[in-house]
Amino acid sequence: MLSVSKPLLSPTSLAAMAIRLPPTPHAPTHYAPPHRRTSPFRPVMRAAPSSSTAATAVSLPPSPKKVLVPIAMGTEEMEAVILAGVLRRAGADVTLASVEDGLEIEASYGTRIIADKPIAACADQVFDLVAVPGGMPGSVRLRDNEILQRIMVRQAEEKRLYGAICAAPAVVLMPWGLHKGRKITCHPSFIGDLPTFRAVESNVQVSGELTTSRGPGTAFQFALSFVEQLFGPHAVEDVDSTLIDAALERSTEVNRVEWPFDHKPQVLIPIANGSEEMEIIMLVDILRRANINVVLASVDESTNIVGSQRMKIVADKCILDASDSKYDLIIIPGGPAGAERLHRSTTLKKLLKEQKQASRMYGGISYSPLILQKQGLLEDKTVTAHPSIVNQLTCQVIDGSKVVIDGNLITGKGLGTVMDFSLAIVRKFFGHGRAKSVANGMVFDYPKNRNA
């Protein structure tokens, strides 16, 4: 299971790491993660009825588990999107509901997200789970919404699953009395507000129907705990295998160069319909926490894009407007459909070509290194990438590292490695101390010193 709290692996020399050489033509593309099921994730389904039963009764497929994730102005975007994304991957019917007057909210680090429904439309619905993200002032705005309070109180009274993360256990659940008689955890900044005899410091605390967690860095564990409670342990194995966070080296750097700048770093993240929204949100959130200026630019006709897990994100600009500026770093997110749409953008192709010619930084995560290769940007480079595409890459691939930095190029392996990928960017711009400080604020396990 993905665990951001597992101990850091001991450093491994480059020579000792698994290095995948360029493949021969038509090489097989099979991948079998160690100690994991090799079949791709699929939602858990009940067994079909026998033929004799089917002859006498009509069997309907089970209804998907219904999940409510309320959001507000100032909600922590990583927590909300990871909750929704992981649970949708597990097969849940997840509703993002706005407690504001409109569906569009601006989250705590400036990302704009469009909810599926207003909270009023959810007032009379029955949910298998209601999970409240944290963030400030989002937690306060959620607490002050009477409709959400009624939904949550009814959820607890009827003994259905509910939970909260980060500031929300202290700011939302306690004023509503939904913590009573339960062990509870929250973000370290709010742990002093919890009843001393009930407070615990575990990353995820399950106490009856209530589950609580500590912060963005524990959001995957929090979401996976709900997958297990709703669907069972086999579903966790299936979802966890798609996150690509096996026992890997945190990062590997070859051909080390400094990333010089004499100004606030400028980073461009182009996005498209089908881009992986969890990757986008984690990148933007973490880089902005480090005081990096991040521009989200849509390559599609609208600045509103729909991600691979059907979440709606509003870009800051269209790619043509964004192309008027120079960027210290351009990062291409994954998501197979989104990566292909990014590849078709002539404006983005021009920006990436200029980026390499000017020896400025660029990179990609998950599926996008294949797009960089198609544009001639990986020649003589060493990378990592999603396991499903590594045999299509003609450059050198390091399998045993979550993040690979080769000079001005940075690549990441997959969804479960984005936090390490983002923090590696922070470290290259500002040093290990800034990266560690950002990780601490997220409650994300990170080494105390660069060489750990």
Q: Give the residue numbers annotated as catalytic, written as ranges.
A: 166
Give alpha helix (H) positions in 265-360.
277-289, 319-322, 336-343, 346-357
Q: Is 284 left (phi over 0), alpha (psi -120 to 50) or beta?
A: alpha
Contact by Cβ (8 Å): 338, 308? yes
Q: What is the dihedral of CA 271, 273, 278, 283, to 10 degrees?
A: 0
At position 399, the amino acid (one-letter code) is D
Contact by Cβ (8 Å): 8, 247? no
Report the alpha-carbon angle 6-163-143, nearest 5.
125
CA atoms of 413 and 377, how far apart (whole Å): 17
Residue 66: closest CA among 105, 10, 143, 124: 124
Give alpha helix (H) positions in 202-310.
219-231, 233-243, 277-289
CA atoms of 22 and 395, how far apart (whole Å): 5
